[in-house]
Every structure is written in structure tokens, then in C-alpha cells.
A and B are shown apart, each in its own frame.
Chain A
Amino acid sequence: MHPLDRINPFIKLLAALLLSSLGWFAGSALASALAAAIALFGVIICRLPQTSGYLKLMALVGGLVTLSWTLSFVWNGVPIATAINDALGMAFRLIATTGSFFIAIETTSAGSLLAACSRLRLPGFVTLVLVLVVGMIPLMREEFRNIGETQRARGLELDRGPLAKRIVYALGRGVPLMVQTYRMAEMIALALSIYGFDPKVARTSWRDIGWLTIQTTFPPTLPMR
């Protein structure tokens, strides 16, 4: 459990929203770059397990966004310096948005989010959607990695060879992932009913929940007699 799990998830989501808004509403690429730098700094200092993967992905996606937007602007007659400035601005906004929400989601456990939703008296279906999104992301990521490893061990060359073939093979991972996602969703739906989840019933929580912080340690309590 990450130390930031103690902060109310909605405060983290609000902070992420503010930072990404700064990136989007700032006029210049420099201001967007500042928002992106703050997000990246946050990602790095939070020492999240997925940091390296996130940084690689952002380097790739950021590069592609910059390149594609620059070409598009130039194609439409925008001067090259302006085109690069605007394209970089788009890439920085993307990094500011994904980075800030990456921190908010990755440092939030499903249990803390459930408790925070209960405290805010959110409707049951909103709680369900939010928790499914936050709770399912790590499960899907873990499953995707496991499928990749099993298929490499089966002989699927995902690490070398022609790029086109590797992309086709990488897409092959989607088949078992889709099957597993469907199966997991079905099982979770069944388990929710067995565990008594009812969107019409107001949930409670064992945690002390403040507007800023949330309890993460189960208190020692004497068993009921």
C-alpha cells in the first residue's frame, strides 16, 4: 500500500484535475511544459512500481504526438517554428494529464476509494464504476503481463524479429486478455451480489474518513462476545 493511500482519493483526483487543467488552459508550450514537469516529478518521487513502464510509454507516445502534430500543422501551412511549439504543447498537455491521473489512481487502493465513496454518499452505481475502474486496472495489467510471459514461453517471439510480426503477436495477447476480462467481470458481478452489494443501500466503512485523509490501518478491536 502506497503512503499516499492515506490521502482522500477525491483530493488526489481534484489535484490531478487542477494540474491537467493548468496544462490545457495555459496558452504557451512553456506553461504546459511546466505542468508536465510537475507531473513527471510527482511520478518519479512517488516511486510507483509501474514508473519505468509509464515513462517509456510517455516517451514513445509524446514523441509520436509531437511528430504527427508537427507534420499535420506544416502540411496545413503553419510555419515550422509555430508548428513545433504547438505540437510540443499538445505532448506536454498529454503528459500533464496522464501523469497526474496516473499518480492519483496508482496510489489509491480499491478499499480507500470504496470508503471515500461511502463518505460522500455517492450513488451506488457511481461507486461501482469508480471502484471497478481503479480496482480492475492493476488486475488487467497483471493479467496482461502474465499472458505475455506464458506466450513467450509458448514460443511467441515478442522481443525480436520484424516489427510487423511482433505487433501481430502482441495483439494476440488481446484474445486471452479479453476472455479473462469477461470471465473476471462475470465473477466479480456474482461475488458482489453474494457479498451483498446493492446500489440502493447506503454503504458504510470500517475506516475513519476525513475530507483530507483516510484511515488505512485496521484498528485492534476486542472480539464481540
Chain B
Amino acid sequence: MLNLQAVSVGFRADAHVLSNIDLGLEQGSVTIVTGAGGSGKSSLLAVAAGVVPKLIRPQRMQGRVSLGGTDIATIGTADLFRRIGLVLQSVEDQVWDLSVEDLIAFPLENRGVPKAEIRIRAAAVIAQMNIGRLIGRQVRTLSGGERRIAALASALVWQPQVLILDEPTSGLDPEARARMVAILRELRKQRLTMLIAEQDLGWFDGLAERVVFLKDGRIIDDLSWSSAVQASMPYVAAGIEPPFAPQEPRPMQQREDAGAALAVKQLSSTLRRPDGAPVLCSVDLTLARGEVAGLIGSNGAGKTTLMRTLLGLETAASGSIEIGGKDSAGCTVAQRARQIGYVSQNLRRMFFLLSLVEEVVFSLSGGETGAKAVAAHRDRAIELLRGVGLADRAEASPFTLSAREQLMLALVCIEATLPSVVILDEPLIACDRDSRAGVLAFLGRCRSRGCAVLLVSHDLQLVDRASDRVLILDGGRLAFDGPTQAAWSSDVFAHRGWRQPAGGEISAIEGAHRASA
């Protein structure tokens, strides 16, 4: 159905992003392309979809891409994107403030399809994906999972021959992932050919038939699904965490009773749910110095409101927050920031200075900028950047860094303020071994310095690996607060219907075998 033959692509004269790719997709097959960040997954998908070279022109491109035996270079752009449905990775950046029905109808309206046919086709895809409840809502008010489903519906409205999805489940909560995979399974039953770039393969059992491993723009392995679930070496070679392998045992942390870094008492939010109940309801929470607690919960459980209230971005209706033994009432958000470090999910929003060294100096100096501050703190800033391998880019703009490098810079900036508490909001949406190792090393340094960490994440593998304790928020209340291993076997967790992380005691990925290789 879709064939890439000896495809090489370069956006610079001196480097290829894809080298000599040979990949054929059979009609009705589901293929996953996996690899670390920067391995060329998105570029491969862009080439397969025809985005490269039709919309984005590379400096060099060799090889041939054909759809149904026809070279896609000879297919018109409009016809090509009718035959290939594509959902990009940053869905939130590619839609305006459209409503769901407008987004679904958009490709049809753009091609001048008559009104009656638009309505029929849009209604068909809405029914097929069971998203009638989303009609009338603006796409940007939807949760991450719902947005991707709306974008998928828009890609399906032409009934394409091939569906190409870039990281469709990354960063989603387990429920949303399960919903997305269930939809894709239904599409597979209809013999839709799919090419999916993904790092966390644990959710794709019963869907994918083949896994292609990419590294530095080259295919380094190509396995059937049954072989891929039993392997671990290809994942390691590709620079990602083996999704089906048991995790390394978490080192037991011996912590002395060093007092509370964060004490939250009877915290309720002013923000209310549609039924009038507060989003946060009488939350009691204590984090000891040097403790890492994982906070999990469904969308709407109140995680974001809890984070925002701790940071001072939301007003508390009642209750108290003590950070490092001091009541935070009356402090501005910036004053709290000296005690409570925050790593945002969207790292680009965190930076505002022109170089890495200035960003670190801002944190080291307690909020100073300019040449005088840089002169006073430069050496220490460079030393901190060296610790994460960024010293040689000290004068570069933070916005030129890769996602992994931006994460490392954010962690260094937070570390430089010597906070009592750190909140990490979904620090890893990818499973790169390097990124994961960087976050785990940061957590290790926090522990040894006596800094408490609240790790807010849908990545249960990371929570399992990194946390001493798990907090499960449900309907604005802390429904579970206990040791990590106990969390996975608790009734509260079982009630969610989520799969346990691979390291959990009764982990079950249906039909998958534990890695032995």
C-alpha cells in the first residue's frame, strides 16, 4: 500500500535525518516506528505522508515513496492528503479556536464539498468514533486525549487509505490512552493501513503487527509484534526504555525523619466544579524532606488545581500551606518560587533570557538579570550546566535546545534556587533513556539535599521507578496516600481500571510476555 524505497533526507548539507530507509506497509497492516527523540521518527512519518517534500522542502532527498503503486510525487497535494490521513504530534498547535464539528468538517469545506455531504460525512465519523458529547465544544477546551481524538476524526472524514499518527498517546493519562488505542483497534478491524510513531509500546498490544526501530535516521531493527514484546535489546539500542521488561528494582531509600518540607492542611480551592463542589476538597498532605511522592489521577481529579494552589497561582478557599516550615499565606507567586521550584510541562514557557548561562544566573541570584549578576554567578552557572552536559552551549539561546536539553536546563535552573520543594509536572512525555536517566539523577540529588519532590505524571512506569510514595487524587480528594508498591494493589488504583506499571507486582500487559532477552 505504502512503500519507501532507499529514502534519504537531509535538511542541512552536511547531515541526513533519514538514511537509506526501506519500508513497505501492507494493506490493512499496523506498523509502529519507535526510537529516541531525534532518531527521525517524525521525519519518517512526514516523508511517508508526503509532507516532505510537498510542503516542507528538504535540502536533499533521494529515493522513492509510492502509494498504491503510484509515486507520490505525481499525486496532487489535495488528492494525496485525501488519501493519507495525518495527525501530527503537536495537535494543540495546529488548530485555531475551532469547535469540534468545525475541525471535523474543515477538510471537506476547504475542498468545496456541498453542505449536505459535509453534514453526512461529519455525522458518520462522529458516530463512528462515538464523540457526540464533544460537539459544540471548542477544541482548545478539551483534554489532551479528546483533542487528539477530534484531530483523528478530522483525519478520518475523507476515509483515507492510510492513517499516519505521530505519538498519538504520548503524555495522555491511562484512560485517554486506552480510549485512543480502542479507537485504533476498531480502525484496524476495518483494514485501515496505519503507520504510528510511538515510544511507549506497552499500550499497543492487539493493535500493532510490526515494530520498526530507528536510530540516527536509520532502521536498526524490524520485528514482528510477538518478537518485539519479548525483546529488550533493540529498545536499548534505539535509546528508549524497553516497555515490556521488568524495571530495575527501585533502590530502597533510607530516610531519616528530617521534618516536613511541605505541609498542606485542609486545603480547599475556590475553583469549583460544574456541580458546585470545590475542585479540591479538604486535602491534607505532608512531604518529608528528601521524599519523592508521585501524584496520579484521572483528568479532572484536581492535580492541576493542587499544583496551581501550591504555587500560589490559584487562591485557596480554606486551609493552609507551609513550605519549609513557613506559612506561605501572603507571599506572591515569585516569593514562593524561592521555596518551591516548578518545572512546567511546557518548557518553552519557562525561559525568557537570551542564553543558558543567564537563565541559570537568574535562578542562582534570586531573580537578578544583567551583566553584573552574570559576572557574579557565571562560574557556578557553568559548573551546574556542565553537570548536565550543557556547558559548551552556555551562550546559546534556550529556544535552540532540543526537548531533552530544555528539560535538563529547567532542572538545573530549579536546582540553582535551592528550593525546599520541587513540583515536576509531567517531566517526561517520551521514554528516552537519556531523559529518564537525567530526571532520575535530578531526583537523586534532591533526595540527598533534603528537597521534597511532588512528581505529577501519567507515566506510571516513571512514578513506580522514582517515587517513595504515591498519592492518588480522585474527585478533589486524596483517595490514596501510601508506599508505591501498595498503591498498585490498592482498591483505589484497581477502581481506575488502569494497567499497573511493568514493575508492579501483578503487572499485566494482555497477551504480552515479559522480556527475557
Contact = CB atoms under 8 A, between A and B. Distances in A.
Contacts of B111: 196, 198, 201
A147 B349 CA distance: 5
Contacts of B417: 155
A70 B298 CA distance: 58
A59 to B, nearest CB: 23
A221 B119 contact: yes
Interface in B15-47: none
B329 to A, nearest CB: 15
B68 interface: no
Contact of A156 (B97, B122, B308, B352): B352
A152 B115 CA distance: 48
A205 to B, nearest CB: 6
Residue of B77, B86, B93, B336 with most chain A CB atoms under a 10 A cut-off: B93
B90 interface: yes
A155 B348 contact: no
Contact of B94 (A158, A191, A220): A191
B342 A223 contact: no
Contacts of A135: 96-98
Given A159-B334, A195-B107, A206-B122, A218 B96 contact: no
B352 A176 contact: yes
B110 A198 contact: yes
Contacts of A157: 332, 334-335, 367
Contacts of B121: 224
Given A157-B367, A195-B154, A196-B78, A139 B140 contact: yes
A173 B97 contact: no
Contacts of B96: 110, 131-132, 135-136, 139, 188
Interface in B113-163: 113-115, 118-124, 127-128, 135-136, 138, 140, 154
Given A158-B334, A201-B111, A149 B313 contact: yes
Contacts of A3: none
Contacts of B354: 175
B56 interface: yes
B105 interface: yes
A176 B109 contact: no
Contact of B114 (A131, A156, A197, A204): A204
Interface in B278-322: 308, 311-313
A156 B367 contact: yes
B105 A206 contact: yes
Interface string A174-199: 01100110011001101101111110
B332 A159 contact: yes
Interface residues of A, number: 61
Given A150-B350, A180-B348, A221 B88 contact: no
A1 interface: yes
B51 interface: yes
A76 interface: no
Given A146-B346, A176-B349, A156 B334 contact: yes
Contacts of A146: 346, 349
A131 B349 CA distance: 25
Contact of B346 (A118, A150, A222): A150
B413 interface: yes
Nearest to A192: B110
B442 interface: no
Interface in A9-56: none
Given A147-B349, A153-B312, 13 more contacts: A150-B350, A155-B362, A159-B333, A190-B51, A190-B56, A194-B55, A195-B81, A195-B107, A204-B113, A206-B115, A218-B122, A220-B123, A221-B123
Nearest to B332: A159
Contacts of A79: none
Given A114-B109, A157-B334, A196-B107, A150 B119 contact: no
B338 interface: yes
Question: Lowest 7 A-B CB distances belong to which pairs?
Answer: A135-B96, A111-B102, A191-B94, A223-B124, A155-B337, A172-B352, A221-B123
A109 interface: yes
Nearest to A188: B94
12 contacts: A154-B413, A155-B334, A156-B334, A156-B352, A160-B332, A196-B110, A198-B78, A198-B110, A198-B111, A201-B111, A204-B118, A222-B120
Contact of B112 (A150, A190, A201): A201
B81 A194 contact: yes
A194 B166 CA distance: 14
A210 interface: no
Contacts of A180: 348-349
A171 to B, nearest CB: 9
Contacts of B336: 153
B344 A205 contact: no
A202 interface: yes
Contact of A175 (B112, B332, B334, B352): B352
Nearest to B354: A175
B353 interface: yes
B269 to A, nearest CB: 16
A109 B369 CA distance: 41
A6 interface: no
B268 interface: no
B10 interface: no
Interface string A84-124: 00000000000000000000000001110010001000000
B101 interface: yes
